[in-house]
Amino acid sequence: MTGSTEGQSDIVTAAVLVIGDEILSGRTKDKNIGYIAEYLTMVGIDLREVRVVPDDEAEIIAALNALRARYSYVFTTGGIGPTHDDITADSVAKAFGVPIGEDPRAIALLLERIKPEDLNEARRRMARIPQGAELVLNPVSKAPGFWIGNVIVMAGVPAIMQAMLDDVAPKLVKGRRMLSETVRADAKEGDVAAPLRDIADRFPDVLIGSYPFSDETGFKTNLVLRARDAARLRTATEAVIAMLAAIRVQQA
């Protein structure tokens, strides 16, 4: 997968690994998962799994090794700051079994923003990069993320994470984009379920999801169809629209 030429492979997959006690305690509400999910879908990468783990080296290593063996890419967020609880870089180096040390390229980036006299030992920690990694640029506060193997290590602060994703996106191998159509059904989920299952059976290559919601007039359903083939997606969407029209006629 990762060895293929951009645009050549049909399916490129990814996982997100969120690292941080503050997410698990509920103190901080994650804003990165949904953003990355939407972003990857848009560029043609299928997000297949997300994990959230604490600031614990053994947990980070175990999750990272499980995910990087399984998916084309793993995107991590969190734990790359200057304080003692920022252990992501060292954990990633251990997961890959490579040394880690102060990277002169990262020090140069930090010095674009931090005066030499303010570049204390703690801040120098932000320049610790595993051997063999490429830097991921951070236009917001300069301290870089990095990319090693199929793992992309990013900050937890949403604005910085988003900028880092923009930096790496052009270099990612993309798959064939998953296209989607949403059809709003002015009907309850339980009333469309049987004919919807028939359509799902007829279009095994189209993923069909059903999502209830309510507004002031009662329960409704959003039907979401997803496929990589535009023609098949259109045909299945037309089948759903016809099915909903038939239900309306029945109920009228």
Footprint of a second copy on this chain (CB under 8 A)? 18, 21-30, 33-41, 46-55, 59, 81-86, 114, 118, 120-123, 125-126, 141, 157, 178, 180, 182, 189-194, 196-197, 200, 207-212, 219, 224, 226
Which residues neighbour 151 within 8 Å (Cβ) at sequence distance 6 or greater?
Answer: 64, 68, 73, 74, 75, 76, 92, 96
- The H or E element that residue 224 is part of is strand 218-227
Closest to a second copy by CB, 58 vs 132, is: 58
| 133/89 Cα distance (integer angstroms) | 11
Let me know: does 227 contact 178? Beta carbons within 8 Å: yes
- Exposed, middle or buried, 196 (CB in 10 Å: 0-12/13-18/19+)? buried
Nearest approach, Cβ of 132 to a second copy (angstroms)? 26
Nearest approach, Cβ of 208 to a second copy (angstroms)? 7
What is the number of residues in the chain?
Answer: 252
Nearest approach, Cβ of 98 to a second copy (angstroms)? 25
Closest to a second copy by CB, 90 vs 134, is: 90
Nearest approach, Cβ of 137 to a second copy (angstroms)? 18
Closest to a second copy by CB, 49 vs 90, is: 49
Per-residue HEC secondary structure of 91-128 comes to: HHHHHHCCCEEECHHHHHHHHCCCCHHHCCHHHHHHHE
Structure tokens at 115: 């005066």
Closest to a second copy by CB, 59 vs 134, is: 59
Closest to a second copy by CB, 98 vs 232, is: 232
CA 32 → CA 17, 40, 241, 252, distances in Å? 10, 12, 34, 45
Closest to a second copy by CB, 50 vs 129, is: 50
Nearest approach, Cβ of 79 to a second copy (angstroms)? 10
Nearest approach, Cβ of 246 to a second copy (angstroms)? 16
